Structure 1
Amino acid sequence: MSPLITAAELRDASAVVVLDATWNLMGPPGREAYDAGHVPGAHFVDLDTELAGPPGEGGRHPLPDASVVTELLRRTGIDAGSEVVVYDAANSMAAARARFVLRYYGVENVRVLDGGFAAWKAAGGEASTTAPADVESAFEAVPGSLRVLDAEGAAEIASQGVLLDARAPERFAGEVEPMDKVAGHIPGAVNAPTTGNVSADGRFLPAEELRERFAALGADGSQPVGAYCGSGVTAAHEALALEVAGVEVPVYVGSWSEWITDPNRPVATGRD
């Protein structure tokens, strides 16, 4: 099954749990956009408090505690057999993080609405301003269903395979750094801005185009591949794009914001 679902497919689906993960790194809060209009029946999920733990030594968006995810699953009625669709405003950056977290904690059937809420509206989908009531399930989140990378694992892939850095070129190069205290990238990493995974309307490029894009960077599955970014959000989008292309990769969840917490870890700059 594709990790993506179209707006038309979602409209025709039944018994699907829909989650709105709309989030903006620089604001305004995603809840405001959700309240202004969302897919009917969609539950809002907050990336900062439900899809990430408190910032600290583990980076700006470490994985949330299992108890937090358990509460999320139970209030939205997700159980072991649920079909889940997650979306955000358009480009699926936050939705990819939501899918990653849910799958890491044991929810198997999770797809991303390709093109997000913008695609839903473009396809004639209705918008609701009513939040659904909480429902109940007995699902318990158990970590470990997906392989993830720590700093050492990321460094190993950077030296022996292809570690993709999903940030913008200027952040990769260390020319600017709006979020973290240190600029640059993990030595040996290859820049693959996640914005290149989608078209102007926020939909993912066709699988063949994504395969060609990643193959040109050496990420064709013939050697170890991993993904990271600033704090583990857009890295999940990179991993999703790679999955669409047919390559399964682990994510370094702590990403750059965790890497730099240890001053002994090396830092590279420049676009090469």
Structure 2
Amino acid sequence: MKKYLLLMLTVGLLVLSACSNGQIEKVSDTNEEFKTISTNDLKEKLNNDSWVLVDTRSSDEFNGWKLNGIKRGGHISGAVDFSANWLRVDVDNKENLLNEALKNKNITQDKNIVLYDSNNKDSLEVAKYLSGKGYNNIYIYDLNEWAEDDSLPMEKYKNYHLIVPPSIVKDILDGKTPETFENANEIKIVEASWGDEDVSYSKGHVPTAFHINTDLVEPPPSWMLGTNEELESFALEYGFTKDDTVIVTSENQMAAYRVAVVLRYIGVKDVRVLNGGLLAWKLAGYEVETTSNKPTPVNDFGATIPANPELITTIEQVKENLTKNEFTLVDNRTWDEHIGNSSGYSYHDKKGRIPGSLYGYAGLSDSNSLDYFRNIDNTMRNFNEILSLWNKSGIDINNHLAFMCGSGWRAAEVLTYAQVMGLENTSLYSDGWIGWSNDTNNPIEVGEPK
């Protein structure tokens, strides 16, 4: 996995001015000036192909969270996202990744670019970045004006609450009750990662979080989903009940999503994941903790495990459903894995794909990558861009979508993103390629799909 380091970026004080068309925004430590645009003028430009509307806030705000005091959550319909947070991360090949994002979102120098935020900071930071790359037609807009007018539509993902901003987690730690947590009972924060605490947990985690070794839900040496008895033992030992609200964090996002899906499968009522993981927590400027926190065991989970069996598709169900037009098995592995050039795993040498599965994209390098589904800061990618990829593969989102990968980590993250968007007729084929190919009686395809 790529390691990300926190890059602290100082932004100069903003000299505020009224936001009417043609006025100038100024940043005190630069000579750069950017025009603003009024709400009325913006409404006229929304359907003009020569204009691009860009949301420069965090992906959490784009998804639907009401942060920074804004009246309504979500984004303006038709807006693309290019978060100022992406300029603050330190990652290999960063400039190429940013250029690729600009290209994918059609943010080009021949367009009129409207950048909006709600904190009078993010848009100016992105504007300075674009100006340095030769962009000239840049306008600034204050989203608060739009959000204050209830007659102007804003879009948000149906289940945006499933992935949580770091500021919301901080509010919870500070004893506050943020939006979507009004009916939460006991809130538990956990850190999921493979191995013992000294692998990653002891080096720093979100305060109060206790550690979950992923081997507890997918025991070695097969690393397949645990039996009902094993999962019940895990739930009781780690103090989970069906009425809990759990936020899963991790340095490795896939581990967090894998454990989150398993917790939902066994029947925990409210399970969420910190969007962007530990990197997002650090980018927000929050301190990590190195204290080893321990869970309090319980004697009764409160329901028969699994309480949500439909969340996991078994190998028998895959075989039965592959013949049905309303079912799609989505293969979230690399292209080389899908066509049989690579197994994807050092401990598994069988190559190929399940006949009838459709390539659903994953990462560019190996089984630890999900480049096609994440922004540069590890947060969830704009779902319209994900849908565009699936359209290329002929994936019909009206079908039941069962997501799979090698053993469930990548697919668990993709499944959650689909459900954030509101695709609820979905499940995880947890055994994945490894479970399928371990049985020599199961058919296998190799080569590019016809």
The answer to whether the superposition gives a TM-score over 0.5 is yes
| 1:17-56 matches, cutoff 5 A | 17-23=188-194, 31-48=198-215, 50-55=216-221
Sort the Cα spacing of 1:178 and 1:250 in 2 relative to 1 into closer, same or farther, 3 A: closer
Distance (Å, rounded) in 1 between the aligned partners of 2:382 and 2:300: 34
Matched-pair contact (CA < 8 Å) for 1:165–1:190: yes
Distance (Å, rounded) in 1 between the aligned partners of 2:430 and 2:307: 13
2:284 is equivalent to residue 129 of structure 1: no
Matched-pair contact (CA < 8 Å) for 1:43–1:76: no
State the Cα distance separating 1:74 from its structure 2 match: 3.5
State the Cα distance separating 1:83 from its structure 2 match: 1.2
Q: Deviations over 1:215-258 (max 9, x none)?
A: 44444432232111111222211211211222131211111111
Distance (Å, rounded) in 1 between the aligned partners of 2:307 and 2:353: 27
State the Cα distance separating 1:80 from its structure 2 match: 2.7
Please list every run of 5 or more consecutive structure 2 residues that lacks an aligned counterpart in the other structure: 1-158, 176-185, 363-369
2:349 is equivalent to residue 181 of structure 1: yes
Distance (Å, rounded) in 2 between the aligned partners of 1:163 and 1:30: 35
Distance (Å, rounded) in 1 between the aligned partners of 2:344 and 2:400: 30
Matched-pair contact (CA < 8 Å) for 1:31–1:44: no
TM-score by structure 2 length? 0.54
Q: Deviations over 1:27-70 (max 9, x none)?
A: x867421111111111111112x121344xxxx32222334433
For the residue of structure 2 that corresponds to 1:21, the secondary structure is strand
Report the equivalent of 1:193: 361
| 1:144-223 matches, cutoff 5 A | 144-147=307-310, 148-159=312-323, 160=325, 161-179=327-345, 180-194=348-362, 195=370, 196-223=372-399
More off after superposition, 134-143 vs 199-208: 134-143
Sort the Cα spacing of 1:178 and 1:29 in 2 relative to 1 into closer, same or farther, 3 A: farther
Matched-pair contact (CA < 8 Å) for 1:21–1:94: yes
Which of the residues 294, 299, 306 maps onto 1:143?
306
Higher strand share: 2
Distance (Å, rounded) in 1 between the aligned partners of 2:232 and 2:320: 32
Sort the Cα spacing of 1:208 and 1:244 in 2 relative to 1 into closer, same or farther, 3 A: farther
Which of the residues 84, 93, 96 maps onto 2:257?
96
Report the equivalent of 1:233: 409
Distance (Å, rounded) in 1 between the aligned partners of 2:228 and 2:235: 10
Which of the residues 113, 117, 133 maps onto 2:274?
113
Distance (Å, rounded) in 2 between the aligned partners of 1:152 and 1:63: 15
2:165 is equivalent to residue 6 of structure 1: yes
State the Cα distance separating 1:125 from its structure 2 match: 1.6
Q: Amino acid of the residue matched to residue 114 of structure 1?
A: N
For the residue of structure 2 that corresponds to 1:45, the secondary structure is strand
Matched-pair contact (CA < 8 Å) for 1:165–1:227: yes
Q: Deviations over 1:1-38 (max 9, x none)?
A: 52111111111125521111123xxxx86742111111
State the Cα distance separating 1:87 from its structure 2 match: 1.6
Report the equivalent of 2:187: 16
More off after superposition, 32-41 vs 141-150: 141-150
For the residue of structure 2 that corresponds to 1:250, the secondary structure is strand
Q: Deviations over 1:138-161 (max 9, x none)?
A: 342611413122224224444433
Distance (Å, rounded) in 1 between the aligned partners of 2:287 and 2:298: 27
Q: Which of the pair has the greater relative contact order for Cα pairs under 8 Å at 6+ separation?
A: 1
Distance (Å, rounded) in 2 between the aligned partners of 1:39 and 1:99: 16
Distance (Å, rounded) in 2 between the aligned partners of 1:115 and 1:149: 27
Q: Amino acid of the residue matched to residue 169 of structure 1?
A: W
Matched-pair contact (CA < 8 Å) for 1:184–1:268: yes
Q: Which has the larger radius of gyration?
A: 2
Sort the Cα spacing of 1:126 and 1:67 in 2 relative to 1 into closer, same or farther, 3 A: farther
Q: Amino acid of the residue matched to residue 305 of structure 2?
A: V
Sort the Cα spacing of 1:178 and 1:79 in 2 relative to 1 into closer, same or farther, 3 A: closer
Matched-pair contact (CA < 8 Å) for 1:61–1:232: no
Matched-pair contact (CA < 8 Å) for 1:155–1:186: no
Matched-pair contact (CA < 8 Å) for 2:358–2:395: no
Report the equivalent of 1:270: 447
Matched-pair contact (CA < 8 Å) for 1:7–1:120: yes
Q: Amino acid of the residue matched to residue 16 of structure 1?
A: I
Matched-pair contact (CA < 8 Å) for 1:74–1:137: yes
